[in-house]
Amino acid sequence: MKKKLLGLLLATTMVFGMVTGCGDGGGTSSGGSDSDDTAKVESKEASSGGEEDSSGADGEIQVGIVLPTKDEPRWLQDQKQFETILDDAGFTKQVLFSQGSSAAEKTNVETLISKGIKVLIICPQDADAAAAAVEEARDAGIKVIAYDRLIKNTDAVDYYVTFDSVSVGVAQGQYLIDNAPEGSDIPLYLYAGAVTDNNAFLFFEGAWSVLQPKIADGTFKIANSSEAEALKDKAELTRDEMSKIMGQVTTDWDFNAAKSKAEAHLTAAGADVKGDVLILAPNDGTSRSIADVFAADKDITKYVITGQDSEMASVQYIIDGKQSMTVFKDTRTLSADSVAMAVDILDGKDPATDSSYNNEKIDVPSKQTPIVVVTKDNVKEVLVDSGYYEASEFTGLE
């Protein structure tokens, strides 16, 4: 069975061509039994939705997957990959979304426990709050794989499958440096992800590690964070220090929050932080919102803005010159790695790992996947030629 599955995983990775449903806010769900496709980004209410149930004849499910929200195209990409791989491999599975709510997440885990899952693959909504949910799973004899985001302060996480998140931040910061205008005091706007997400800290840490020397030597001038300004001479920030900055510039991973924040920043900004500017945007959804706000300001002559996830809408923004870069995190690899781990677990074997992450309670054995920087220059090669998207899904692709 292992051999067959590995072949399938490989085939899926190579052949899987289309990730659909990647418009702003909501999108398609791939035939789930309880799809709430009208869910909008504004409504982060506590409800689970978009579930895909492939229970066996006796209603038992082998692998349960809990993802944070279906309101961001990123997680629909992961959902699609999981469904394809697990279906092809003949596993019974169910994918549930927590819709931005830790309470819904816990209910989702309990639902899956009651269906007899052996392995739980979970991307937590909130790194700390998810501990209680996975402890319930552990107590029911289930193995837990944290997916993409770490679960903190618990020993009930068996494995962690993730991208190299610090390197995502480094890539974003380095892109701004490499594409900055000449001169000094170049305005730099900082934005961050949700403080409940451990990844948001890793992204910020990576970006700060390369941007800080440029801020300290006066090449860049922070435009929108007094806390970052106060800490500009510190090469390495503690978690508390990062929290202070991120508290001021968090988007909460919410497109509308990002838009409002960017509007407020530009309203408050003086002429010294307008003109040609640099923007550290943490992911694609927030990047598009922030970019739209900056594009509409007549005193912004040019902006360079980062992103991550290679969402379809952002790929179009990059082709159109509205977003400068994104980071490709190949969800085909991440989902395949998690499923391969689940198979090992179901076979009674120890899954292979290549790193470990401390979650403030234990060192969690981990598997890391590298990332790729995508710009207008290589977008076709990385995202179309690799079969991740189809050329016909975009306009103006050369």
- Positions in the binding site for ligand BGC (CB under 6 A): 72, 74, 148-149, 193, 197, 199, 253, 283, 308-309, 329
Identity of the residue, 52 or 72, whose beta carbon is nearer to ligand BGC in the bound complex: 72
Cα three-residue angle 144-346-57, rounded to 5 degrees: 100
Say how far apart CA 306 and CA 284 lie, in whole Å. Answer: 8
Identity of the residue, 79 or 92, whose beta carbon is nearer to ligand BGC in the bound complex: 79
Say how far apart CA 192 and CA 377 lie, in whole Å. Answer: 26
Q: What is the DSSP letter of 192?
A: B
Smallest distance, Å, CB 161 to ligand BGC? 12
The pair phi, psi for residue 357, each rounded to 5°, is: -120, 130
Identity of the residue, 193 or 365, whose beta carbon is nearer to ligand BGC in the bound complex: 193
Say how far apart CA 98 and CA 124 lie, in whole Å. Answer: 9
Smallest distance, Å, CB 116 to ligand BGC? 29
Distances (CA, A) of 53 to 86, 118, 119, 160, 380: 11, 15, 15, 24, 34
Identity of the residue, 160 or 253, whose beta carbon is nearer to ligand BGC in the bound complex: 253
Smallest distance, Å, CB 242 to ligand BGC? 15
Smallest distance, Å, CB 380 to ligand BGC? 22
Label residue 197 left, alpha or beta by phi (over 0 means left) and psi (-120 to 50 means alpha). Answer: beta
Smallest distance, Å, CB 310 to ligand BGC? 10
Identity of the residue, 158 or 197, whose beta carbon is nearer to ligand BGC in the bound complex: 197
Contacts of 114 (CB under 8 A, 6+ apart): none
Taking alpha carbons only, the member of 129, 203, 208 closest to residue 167 is 203
Q: Which residue has the tokens 């040609």?
A: 276
Say how far apart CA 39 and CA 366 lie, in whole Å. Answer: 33
Smallest distance, Å, CB 193 to ligand BGC? 6
Residue type, 208: W
Identity of the residue, 202 or 339, whose beta carbon is nearer to ligand BGC in the bound complex: 202
Element (H, E) at 140: none
Identity of the residue, 212 or 310, whose beta carbon is nearer to ligand BGC in the bound complex: 310
Identity of the residue, 273 or 374, whose beta carbon is nearer to ligand BGC in the bound complex: 374
CB 286 within 8 A of CB 259: no
The pair phi, psi for residue 61, each rounded to 5°, is: -120, 135
Smallest distance, Å, CB 164 to ligand BGC? 11
CB 263 within 8 A of CB 232: no
Smallest distance, Å, CB 168 to ligand BGC? 8
Identity of the residue, 106 or 288, whose beta carbon is nearer to ligand BGC in the bound complex: 288
Say how far apart CA 214 and CA 232 lie, in whole Å. Answer: 9
Smallest distance, Å, CB 189 to ligand BGC? 18
Say how far apart CA 223 and CA 221 lie, in whole Å. Answer: 6
